[in-house]
Structure 1
Amino acid sequence: MNNKNQRLTASEISVIWSSYINNTFSTCILKYFLRNVEDTKIKHVLQLAFKISENNVKKCKEILELDDQSIPVGFTDHDVSPSAPRLYSDAFYLYYLKNMSKVGLSVYGVALCTSANKDVRDLLSKAIQESTDLYNKTAEVLLSEGIYIRPPYVTTSNQKSFINSKGYLSGLMHTHHRPINVLEITHIEANIEANSVGRALLAGFSQVAKSKKVRDYCTRGKEISKKHIKVFAGMLTEDDLPAPMPWDVEVTDSTIAPFSDKLIMFHISLLIASSISNYATAAAASLRTDISADYIRLSGENAKYAKDGLDIMIKNNWLEEPPQIPDHEGLAKD
């Protein structure tokens, strides 16, 4: 560890504080998954993910303590009931890990570029490598099980060309527009898969949440995911491309909660944040105006859903406040 005199910057406190909470959350989720997984290969990947999260919690705590920062509450054994009946299929666990490792790669990559402290950079660099390994191992198991969902195959021209007309961007105000390109297909497919995982997750949560408000909120989120999948699938089928969908992502009929309502709401907030980020990236990469406009419109719907979720969390005292700088103006008035 570095010398204690090397204080953490605001961005470094932010990433380590958030990482601590996110990894305590992950250990709760994975602890439950490990209790009822049946497939040996899938179990090994879950064990790897659990070990990564557990080690990250310890490392984040060490860095925060060295800088005299308070340790977040995060999530504990009170937020998970590992002995609760199975809620999801083994196949769902793989799709879940694939999606969450992608999120980890994105979050840790951005955080690394805002950090100077060597301990923080070392932690983030290792987290990126571990997320990469986890993604690759998950992909290998999905392939070996024959359930990896590939983006559609397409026929492309071998000729090199440049865009020579503004008509290439048309779509929003025109009845006829060009076929979608491979960049647009990539983001559409990724968002279909992410929403499919989210829909299954929320379907399970809507069955087991203790509070009616939380159950209703989960059901609303499930319907939003279904709607967004339909919009994205339509973009592909309009050009006679198949809309790839995960299969065997089964949700059982259990109504016994494996997770606290606090954890459920936090998980949904993470999904929404990831979705809004994905949509923003996709909108920027999509050159057809109607597609980028759809991403912006759907992001607005996600933002409203997120706000309503935060209201529920605040009302129930579930939303942990990030480290705050002193209110100098307020102190001057005292």
Structure 2
Amino acid sequence: MESKHDIRLTSGELTPLWTGYQGDSMANCVLKYFLNKVEDAEVKPIVEYALGLTEEHMEFKNSLFRNEKFPIPLAFTDKDVNIDAPRLFSDGFMLLYLRHMGIAGLTAYSMVLASSSRKDIRVFFNHNLKTAAELLEKATTTLQSKGLLPRSPYIPYPDSVEFVQKEGWLNGVLGDRRPLNSSEITHLFLNIMTNSVGQALMLGFSQVAKSKEVVEYILRGRDISSKHIEVFSSVLRDDKLPAPMTWESDISNSKEAPFSDKLMLYHTVFLTALGLGNYGAALAGSTRRDLAALYLRLTAEIGTYADDGAELLIKNKWMEKMPGAIERDALLSV
């Protein structure tokens, strides 16, 4: 019977543990601030639940890293959050944020299970997968009860099974463009939603960040999100389908920062990385060629934006180095 100390952690296990520590510590700061500001009696227990998950994750990883003689990342601490700063986000937006935490967790944990071989690590990520689903369920149910749950567009049921009759079904050229199918509608809707969360967060961050460079970078991200929301919404409107609302009105006029510039910049880059993954999934799920071209173009834009964000993190000495292979050339004496 394999014990958890019989074998070292593989790169496939270290990567989600290390990056997850960064994400959990960031979310822990955000949720501590949320908990100090939330007023809705239905939302507060969900914030507490999510905060408990981040603390549980970090406790496991701290213990694991110590046992493995692996350096614990610095990541984010109480120095990166001011829970007494004025309210920046509405309770409704906090609830939406929690829902997207659950969605991101489900996506991440289902993928990392495929790269994990050690039993204790598989048990940990399996547990996280279940709790992420529970967080998503709690947030979704509460959003629904409050009439705040965004729903993807309804489409009519087909009368019968049909087969595609011509190659032109793949085209997206004006004048010979078929209506969107359900997969394409779903991805457009989800990408509007994730961009809406990012747009609102970056609006709030841009109001309170101190560094001019960080403010300019975050504002650029907000503008990219706004543009992408309009692009995706216009595709839906072309087929007379509704686009979900945005959440900018749920950001207050506060100018006092609840988070450090380091955390807000990292969070912005983190959201951009999630966006890249979402666009990749949308590209794979969209068979109309104009949509494929659209996702490729927008992916290139946010890829450049993410790269610029990484450079800004490095410039400020805020990016910890991810574990990697040995730099063999640096060991050479000649």
Report if TM-score (shorter chain) is over 0.5: yes
Residues 156-171 of structure 1: pairs in structure 2 closer than 5 A: 156-171=157-172
2:271 alignment counterpart: 271
Question: Match of 2:276, SS?
Answer: helix
Residues 1-334 of structure 1: pairs in structure 2 closer than 5 A: 2-171=3-172, 173-246=173-246, 250-333=250-333
Once the 2 structures are TM-superposed, how far is the Cα of residue 99 of structure 1 from its aligned partner? 1.3
CA contact (8 A) 2:170 2:287 kept: yes
| Cα distance between partner residues in 2 of 1:19 and 1:293 | 32
| Cα distance between partner residues in 2 of 1:247 and 1:207 | 15
| Cα distance between partner residues in 2 of 1:326 and 1:5 | 23
CA contact (8 A) 1:152 1:242 kept: yes
- Partner amino acid, structure 2, of 1:318: W
| Cα distance between partner residues in 2 of 1:174 and 1:311 | 40
After superposition, give the CA deviation of every residue in 1:290-321 in whole Å (9 maximum; x if it has no partner): 01111111111101111111111100000010
| Cα distance between partner residues in 1 of 2:305 and 2:4 | 44
| Cα distance between partner residues in 2 of 1:203 and 1:225 | 11
Question: Match of 1:7, SS?
Answer: coil
After superposition, give the CA deviation of every residue in 1:6-54 in whole Å (9 maximum; x if it has no partner): 2111111111111111111111000001111110111111000000000
| Cα distance between partner residues in 1 of 2:197 and 2:283 | 21
| Cα distance between partner residues in 2 of 1:61 and 1:142 | 34
CA contact (8 A) 2:33 2:83 kept: yes
Question: Match of 2:115, SS?
Answer: coil
Once the 2 structures are TM-superposed, how far is the Cα of residue 329 of structure 1 from its aligned partner? 2.5
After superposition, give the CA deviation of every residue in 1:218-260 in whole Å (9 maximum; x if it has no partner): 1111111110000000111001111122558511111101101
| Cα distance between partner residues in 1 of 2:326 and 2:155 | 56
After superposition, give the CA deviation of every residue in 1:199-230 in whole Å (9 maximum; x if it has no partner): 00000000000101111111111111110000
Once the 2 structures are TM-superposed, how far is the Cα of residue 175 of structure 1 from its aligned partner? 3.2
| Cα distance between partner residues in 2 of 1:74 and 1:194 | 24
- Partner amino acid, structure 2, of 1:309: G
After superposition, give the CA deviation of every residue in 1:50-94 in whole Å (9 maximum; x if it has no partner): 000000001011222222211110100010000000001111101
After superposition, give the CA deviation of every residue in 1:89-142 in whole Å (9 maximum; x if it has no partner): 111101111112111111111111000011111110011000000000000100
| Cα distance between partner residues in 1 of 2:263 and 2:67 | 28
- Partner amino acid, structure 2, of 1:267: H
Segment of structure 1 superposing worse, 79-88 or 7-16 = 7-16
Once the 2 structures are TM-superposed, how far is the Cα of residue 325 of structure 1 from its aligned partner? 2.6
| Root mean square deviation of aligned Cα | 1.4
Aligned length in residues = 333
Question: Match of 2:162, SS?
Answer: coil
Question: Match of 2:43, SS?
Answer: helix
- Partner amino acid, structure 1, of 2:151: R
Once the 2 structures are TM-superposed, how far is the Cα of residue 5 of structure 1 from its aligned partner? 3.1
Runs of 4+ in 1 over 3 A off after TM superposition: 246-249
| Cα distance between partner residues in 2 of 1:76 and 1:2 | 32
| Cα distance between partner residues in 2 of 1:167 and 1:28 | 51
Once the 2 structures are TM-superposed, how far is the Cα of residue 328 of structure 1 from its aligned partner? 2.2
| Cα distance between partner residues in 2 of 1:31 and 1:2 | 35
| Cα distance between partner residues in 1 of 2:118 and 2:333 | 35
CA contact (8 A) 2:203 2:248 kept: no
| Cα distance between partner residues in 2 of 1:183 and 1:126 | 29
Query: 5+ residue gaps in structure 2?
Result: none
Q: Percent same amino acid at aligned positions?
A: 40
| Cα distance between partner residues in 2 of 1:174 and 1:139 | 38
Question: Match of 2:332, SS?
Answer: helix
Once the 2 structures are TM-superposed, how far is the Cα of residue 283 of structure 1 from its aligned partner? 0.8
- Partner amino acid, structure 1, of 2:115: T
- Partner amino acid, structure 2, of 1:232: F
After superposition, give the CA deviation of every residue in 1:243-295 in whole Å (9 maximum; x if it has no partner): 12255851111110110111011101110011010001001110100011111
Query: 5+ residue gaps in structure 1?
Result: none
| Cα distance between partner residues in 2 of 1:3 and 1:305 | 40
Question: Match of 1:40, SS?
Answer: coil
Question: Match of 2:250, SS?
Answer: coil
- The change in CA–CA distance for 1:32 and 1:164 in structure 2 (over 3 A counts) is same
CA contact (8 A) 1:92 1:248 kept: no
